Amino acid sequence: MNLPRMLLLLLTISITSSFQMQFMLLFSRQGKLRLQKWYVPLSDKEKKKITRELVQTVLARKPKMCSFLEWRDLKIVYKRYASLYFCCAIEDQDNELITLEIIHRYVELLDKYFGSVCELDIIFNFEKAYFILDEFLLGGEAQETSKKNVLKAIEQADLLQEDTKVSFSPSFLMVWSRNAAEVRDSCGGSEQASWVKTAFLLLVSTERKFWITLNKDMLRKIKMQAPL
């Protein structure tokens, strides 16, 4: 984002200090929900109803139609990026343009972190998408407009996460998964051994490096043949 646009975002946020987003939804062109963040207390039944209605309403609109619409007692602001729709709900007196800027800034943060972000990045790294959103918005209000500060906080969290997890390379997982007999003996049962082997085979089937944390209680339950 260039300097004039950043200054406009900062100025608008300062003027509309009472701005508060009600919720944000990310869904695909097929209507699959990829991310949801609620800033107002609602029941699960009401959340599902709202999600279903909004997804159907937004997907039914034509590409050249306005990105703002009135829905119930709220205003809906949405924008499509590639195969994903970013949809936000704000109160009637809130500014639609600042909501568009917030959506765009969130997309920029995702793109900066993942590098040309796509729908698959959100699917397989949804916890990172939530973390970036939480660093950017707090209680539905923008708490940090600097991309540099947000990404720095995420990098620090990634380093902390790596320090608390154990690294296994795909080649190591392949060797371990082949030793089914040893896994069966260490687990004390064929059912648990099959579960462990299947989990590792799923990890090996990808080309990335995975991080695994095995809880001590889970290991104890496996060895005792207790149900997980």
CATH number at residue 83: 3.30.450.60
Residue 71 resides in a domain: yes
Distance (Å, whole) CA 153 – CA 150: 5
Strand, coil or helix: 212: strand
Residue 164 is predicted with a pLDDT of 60
Distance (Å, whole) CA 79 – CA 68: 9
Token digits for 155?
């990098």
Residue 205 resides in a domain: no
Estimate the crossing angle of helix 170-178 against helix 190-204, to 10 degrees.
150
C-beta separation of 112 from 72 below 8 A: no
Residue 146 is predicted with a pLDDT of 86
Residue 146 resides in a domain: yes
Residue with tokens 């209507």, as numbered in its chain: 31
- Please state, for a pLDDT cut of 70, what percent of the chain lies above it: 63
Res 23 pLDDT > 50: yes
Token digits for 3?
């300097």
Residue 125 resides in a domain: yes
Residue 115 resides in a domain: yes
Which helix (H) or strand (E) segment is 26 a member of? strand 21-28
Residue 14 resides in a domain: no
Residue from 157, 171, 155, 160 nearest 209 by CA: 171
pLDDT digits (tens, 9 = 90+) for 66-109: 999 998 889 999 999 989 999 999 998 888 999 999 999 999 99
Residue 177 resides in a domain: no
Q: Classify residue 223 by its DSSP letter.
A: H
Total-model pTM: 0.65
Residue 180 is predicted with a pLDDT of 46
In total, the chain counts a number of residues equal to 228
Query: Where in the sequence is the domain holding 83, given as residue range(s)?
Result: 19-164
Residue 99 resides in a domain: yes
Residue scoring higher pLDDT (13 or 119): 119
Residue scoring higher pLDDT (49 or 222): 49
Residue from 85, 39, 38 nearest 61 by CA: 85
Q: Classify residue 155 by its DSSP letter.
A: H
Distance (Å, whole) CA 126 – CA 72: 29
Number of domains in the chain: 1
Residue 15 is predicted with a pLDDT of 43
> Can you spell out the DSSP letters for 41-63?
---HHHHHHHHHHHHHHHHTS-T
Give residues with Cβ within 8 angstroms of 224, minimum separation 6. 188
